[in-house]
Amino acid sequence: MSKPVQVLRWLGVLPGAFLCVFLVTFPIHWAVMLIQIFGSSAPDTLISIDDKTLLAAIPPEMLERFGYALFTPLVMVIVGTKIAPNFKFQTSIALAVLWGIIFGASMIVFISQGQYSDWGWMRFAITCLLGIGGVGLGLFLAYKGLKGGSQG
């Protein structure tokens, strides 16, 4: 790979990762809407809440935020790793740290506003766990891809 191509790929790591994070929000929204539309349970379903499946019983805004918390760090780490010309795992670690800084700052703002109800702490904890799980899965997949010889 020539030097100008490497430089352009390094310059494209952050913009490419952020662009893909933005783009992944659309399928998450569509999936949540489809879950809400087709989430009615059959009469003989063993587990249902108000004649809805378990996933459809979760309010759509909350389900969408949970999807964002899981998939945006995952996509950010994986896409940044794929764009980087070399030092792929180190790039995935740097992107995970960047995500952690952004996520931590947003959580500080959320906590300082104090606008959550009695059960808001549970939604906050689930969001944090899903975010950590997403970034951890992204790092694992980046490491596994590097270990498997996928360098391109």
pLDDT value of residue 118: 64
Residue 112 — very low, low, confident or very high, per pLDDT cuts 50/70/90? confident
- 7-34: per-residue pLDDT in tens? 999 999 999 999 999 999 999 999 999 9
In terms of pLDDT, which residue wins out, 4 or 48? 4
Structural tokens at position 65: 């935020």
Q: Is 152 helix (H, G, I), strand (E, B) or coil?
A: coil
CA angle centred on 35, ends 33 and 39, rounded to 5°: 130
**Residue 52 bridge partners (DSSP):** 40, 49
Q: Would you give the DSSP letter of residue 58?
A: S
Residue 107 burial by Cβ neighbours in a 10 Å radius (0-12, 13-18, 19+): middle
Contact residues for 38 (Cβ-Cβ < 8 A; gap 6+):
56
Residue 149 banded pLDDT, cuts 50, 70, 90:
low
Residue 6 near residue 85, CB atoms below 8 Å: yes
Asked if pLDDT for residue 151 goes beyond 60, the answer is: no
Average pLDDT, the chain: 87
- Euclidean distance between CA atoms 20 and 85, whole angstroms: 18
Q: Are 131 and 69 in contact (CB under 8 A)?
A: yes
Q: Look at residue 45 and tell me whether its pLDDT is greater than 80.
A: no
Which pLDDT score, from 0 to 100, does residue 65 have? Answer: 93
